[in-house]
Amino acid sequence: MSQRQNKILKGEIKRMLHLNIIEMGQSDYASPMILVESTGKDPRQCIDYRLLNANVRTQFFPLHNIEERVERVAAANYITVIDLAKGYWQIPLRERARRYSAFVTSFGTYIPLRMPFGLVNAPYFFSKLMAQVFQHCDTFAVPYSDEIAIYSENWEDHIKNVAEVLKRIGNAQLTIKASKSPLTQSLKGTIRKECVNWTQDCNLAFTELKNRLTEIPVVHAPDYNREFIVQADVSDLGTGVVLSQRNDKGEEHPVLFLSKKFTDAQRRYGTTEKECAAIIYAIKKLRYYLDGQQLTIETDHNPLV
């Protein structure tokens, strides 16, 4: 590593020593600490545990269906998201685990006192901890990785639910990171690695998109007692899908929107093949919603009818 990179690593090591996350020591097992750098982001230290992980039996924790969880939260009137600060670091390591998870730098060997990122079973233990801390909170809290989404139908219940979640976090001696719960967040860098060339046409399209998403029709939570409607259409470049349902008044409301860019091979399909591919994509992608349900597929391509 260069002098600059070593200086960055030394600063991070000093910080972790101060926080009592690691300590200096010796071990007959040690993995290298490296610095990962990418354009537009702060340098990030990582421990290369690949050799250690290859000799560890992987444990798996059953994760809930993310679509089902998003659906439950999206149907609520009030939502609060809490992010845990350095989630993995909040779990203490046993003496034996410390020995195996030691890491080495050009200026010394260090022993983690808390579970570091990179260990193959770190997600298992963290997910297990979250399930224990938020046991019996399924009706108002959804933990996923190091984030907890709290959702409620009314403000009074929401205050109580947030208080209950914070109480459980405190009892578990976990800490949260308020700075990772922004009211708004820039889209820059989330769309592509390169900078976006924002033109007047882009601005007009973005304004129209905002208007369309804030006016009727807005998405509704799915009702599994009603029939689903799947609409798929294509262009030369890709396909768009709408999943919708009708209410008691016969009004159709969208539940979910999907889109997909065609591959080079799919672009060479004929019109009928493209329309058929769009329907197949929709059924596969919406399996969670459609499995065992009554549904109608709508298409404007007569050869498929």
Residues 261, 145 within the same domain: no
Quote the CA–CA distance of 302 and 210 in Å, as a whole number: 33
Contact status, residue 140 vs residue 162, Cβ threshold 8 Å: no
Residues 129, 48 within the same domain: yes
Residue 200 covered by a domain: no
Type of residue numbered 282: A
Q: Output the pTM of the full model.
A: 0.60
Residues 40, 149 within the same domain: yes
Q: Judging by DSSP bridges, how do beta strands 238-246 and 252-261 pair with one another?
A: antiparallel
Mean pLDDT of the chain: 85
Q: Among 172, 205, 232, where does a domain finish?
A: 172
The total number of structural domains in the chain stands at 2
Q: Give tens-digit pLDDT for 107-152.
A: 899 999 999 989 999 989 998 999 899 999 888 998 887 888 899 9
* C-alpha pair distances (Å), 34 with each of 30, 37, 108, 231: 13, 10, 13, 49
Residue 163 has pLDDT above 80, yes or no: yes
Residue 8 covered by a domain: yes
Residue 7 covered by a domain: yes
User: Where residue 262 sits, what CATH number does that domain have?
Assistant: 3.10.20.370
Type of residue numbered 48: D
Residue 102 covered by a domain: yes
User: Where residue 108 sits, what CATH number does that domain have?
Assistant: 3.10.10.10
Residues 168, 243 within the same domain: no
Burial class of residue 226 in the structure, from the number of CB atoms within 10 Å of its CB (0-12 exposed, 13-18 middle, 19+ buried): middle
Residues 225, 148 within the same domain: no
Residues 158, 32 within the same domain: yes
Residues 137, 10 within the same domain: yes
Predicted confidence at residue 187, as pLDDT, reads: 47
Contact status, residue 126 vs residue 93, Cβ threshold 8 Å: no
Residue 182 has pLDDT above 90, yes or no: no
* DSSP string of the chain, one letter each residue: --HHHHHHHHHHHHHHHHTTSEEE---S--EEEEEE--TTS--EEEE--HHHHTTS-----PPPPHHHHHHHHHT-SEEEEEEBTTGGGGSBPPHHHHHHT-EEETTEEEEESBPPTT-TTHHHHHHHHHHHHTTT-TTTEEEETTEEEEEESSHHHHHHHHHHHHHHHHHTT--B-GGGS-S----TTTS-SSPP---HHHHHHHHHHHHHHHSSS------TTS-EEEEEEE-SSEEEEEEEEE-TTS-EEEEEEEEEEPPHHHHTS-HHHHHHHHHHHHHHHTHHHHTTS-EEEE-S-GGG-
Residue 179 covered by a domain: no
Residue 177 covered by a domain: no
Q: Give tens-digit pLDDT for 233-276.
A: 999 889 999 999 998 888 888 888 899 999 889 899 999 999 99
Residue 194 covered by a domain: no
Contact status, residue 173 vs residue 182, Cβ threshold 8 Å: no
Residues 19, 147 within the same domain: yes
Domain that includes residue 278, residue range = 218-298
Residue 78 covered by a domain: yes
Q: Among 137, 152, 172, where does a domain finish?
A: 172
Q: Based on C-alpha coordinates, what's the Rg of the chain?
A: 25
* C-alpha pair distances (Å), 65 with each of 72, 141, 225, 256, 284: 11, 14, 20, 16, 15
- 50 pLDDT band, cuts 50/70/90, is very high
Residues 136, 278 within the same domain: no
Q: Among 145, 172, 199, where does a domain finish?
A: 172
Residues 113, 255 within the same domain: no
Phi, psi of 238 (to 5 degrees): -175, -165
Predicted confidence at residue 120, as pLDDT, reads: 92
Residues 252, 141 within the same domain: no
